[in-house]
A and B are shown apart, each in its own frame.
Chain A
Amino acid sequence: MSFVEFRNVHFRIGGRAILNGLTFSIAAGETLVLLGRSGSGKTTALRLINAMHEPTSGEVLVDGKATTAWDRVRLRRGIGYVIQEGGLFPHFTVARNIALIPQLENWPIEKTIARVDALLSSVNLNPADFAHRLPRELSGGQRQRVGVARALAADPAILLFDEPFGALDPVTRLDLQREFLRLRADLGKTSVFVTHDVQEAMKLATRIALLHEGNLAFIGAPSEFEASTHPEARAFLDVLNEARRAR
């Protein structure tokens, strides 16, 4: 069953075309990486999934239902969203940030507390150390971990990642990429991950969707991507080969 489906999706802002008829689907449990340069439309495509944008024409189906037909609040609560630096609420402690959606969903308090502790542990932050800190008392990598924990809080079926590791130093970045893979193996969530980093895409993706000027240039497994002859795919593969040669 495909969990998310794009059907001939166009998106324009003020007469400028951002996406030109995207059609593809995302299967339950897979990690689809949306790869592309700045301005390729990858973040826009991601934000169509949780109805932060609405298609100009065509439709995006989540769990078989068009995003425009969903109650937006319900749709978004079922989709975890992780952005750069986590997008944490600066006046909430780490625990309150993570507990927010469970709290809005009226979970019993003991269940919420247990959930916060379990999530902090699962992103390798000691609850006793971190639960009561404010976001500004964390490092960038720690904020990102809390952002992931918060996105997982209400056990959503889908996770969206918008260049989450872009601002991190390379060592922290590698660390978080490994953890992403570990969490994926543990949880098996459907994930959509936006990045412009081809190495990151190759490492994390079960499939890569390459966007170029609002068009889908390629979609397939990383091994197929390496064999692609599309010029934009070749451009990204050159970056990859350059990095390998340098080693």
Chain B
Amino acid sequence: MLGDVLQDLLEEGVQLLGEHLVLVLSAMLIASAIAIPGGLLLATNPRARRWALGLANIGQTIPSLALFGFLIPIPFIGGIGQHTAIVALVLYALLPILRNTVTGILGVDPVVRDSAVAMGMTRGQILRMIELPLAAPTIIAGLRIATVTTIGTATIAAAIGAGGLGVFIFRGIASVDKIQILAGAVPAALLALAADGALGWLEKRISK
């Protein structure tokens, strides 16, 4: 009896974990593709920087459940399901990546940049060979924060039918079933710890 319940839980768990990973990875890929190049552009433009970081800050202050709700009636990007959840997760992940990319690039010693210019390096060469490698540990730290937050926030995606480990949690809350809640929460927490560890390791390796 109990064995069957656990068996079912495990089978569903593997599927939900898969969905969760898809949500997190898609959101992180899209957010990085926007925020890293965006951060590079903002680093050279103080005015746009204030606006963009302010906007991203405001995005971050919207409670996640409310943001999911707001997105449902919006055409194309909204509605019920996975893609709406991914849009919301991307919005949350943008700020840490954007901010750390800007901080990393601005943190490059001006003397180092100056001597690169004076040596006759082009803008692209300076970015590729000097600025990006020197900013890399800070950028990865931003990815790390964003990934860990996204893994947690993605549990709420179940509320708008996007699946993931949050399905267990919401169902567990509805039926006052601690086992179900834990079946969602514990893997999500372990996933976050694993991502934190892996990216932390990468960050340290690169800053050597």
A143 smallest CB distance to B (angstroms): 12
Nearest chain A residue, comparing its CB with the CB of B125: A104
- Give B109-141 interface residues, CB cut-off 8 Å to A: 109, 111-112, 114-122, 125, 129-130, 133-134
Question: Helix, strand, loop or mixed for chain A's interface?
Answer: helix
Q: Which residues of B contact A72 (CB under 8 A)?
A: 120
A75 nearest in chain B by CB position: B120
B130 / chain A contacts, CB cutoff of 8 Å:
89
| Residues A77 and B119 in contact, CB atoms below 8 Å apart | yes
- Shortest distance between the CB of B130 and any CB in chain A (Å): 6
Given contacts A91-B133, A91-B134, contact A77 B111 (CB under 8 A): no
Give the bracket for the number of chain B residues in contact with chain A. 10 to 19
B interface secondary structure, majority: helix
Q: How large is the interface on A (under 10, 10 to 19, 20 to 34, 35 or more residues)?
A: 20 to 34
With A87-B111, A104-B125 known as contacts, the answer to whether A76 contacts B116 (CB < 8 A) is no
Instruction: Give chain A nearest CB distance to B104 CB in angstroms.
Output: 13
Counting CB contacts under 8 A, is A237 at the interface? no
Contact yes or no, B120 A83, CB < 8 A: no
Q: Is A52 an interface residue (CB 8 A)?
A: yes
Q: How far is the CA of A101 from the CA of B26 in the complex (A)?
A: 40
* Structural contact, B111 and A73, CB atoms closer than 8 A: no
Q: What are the residues of chain A within 8 A of B122 when measuring CB–CB?
A: 73
Complex CA gap A152/B125 in Å reads 20
A90 at the interface (CB under 8 A from B): yes
Taking the complex as formed, is A11 at the interface, i.e. its CB lies under 8 A from any CB of chain B? Answer: no
The residues of A that contact B125 with a CB separation of less than 8 Å are 104
* Contact across chains for B118 and A76 when beta carbons are under 8 A apart: yes
Chain A residues within 8 Å of B115, by CB: 81, 83, 87-88
The answer on a CB contact under 8 Å between A89 and B118 is: no
Whether B134 and A90, one on each chain, are in contact in the complex, defined by CB atoms closer than 8 angstroms, is: yes
Roughly how many angstroms separate A88 CA and B134 CA in the complex, as a whole number? 13
In the bound complex, how far is the Cα of B109 from the Cα of A81, in angstroms?
17
- Cβ-defined contact, B119 with A81, below 8 A: yes
Q: Which residue of A lies closest to B115 (CB)?
A: A87
The residue on A at minimum CB distance from B109 is A90
Question: A79 CA to B118 CA in the complex, in Å?
Answer: 8
CB-defined A-B contacts under 8 Å, sample of 14: A73-B120, A75-B120, A76-B119, A76-B120, A83-B114, A85-B111, A87-B114, A87-B115, A89-B112, A90-B112, A91-B134, A100-B121, A104-B120, A104-B121
Q: Which 9 A-B pairs have the closest CB atoms?
A: A87-B115, A76-B120, A77-B120, A81-B118, A73-B120, A91-B133, A87-B111, A73-B122, A50-B118
Q: A101-B120, A150-B119 are in contact. List 4 more A-B contacts (CB 8 A).
A: A74-B120, A76-B119, A89-B116, A101-B119
Interface, chain B (partner A; CB < 8 A): 109, 111-112, 114-122, 125, 129-130, 133-134
* Interface residues, chain A, with chain B CB atoms under 8 Å away: 50, 52, 72-79, 81, 83, 85, 87-91, 100-101, 104, 150
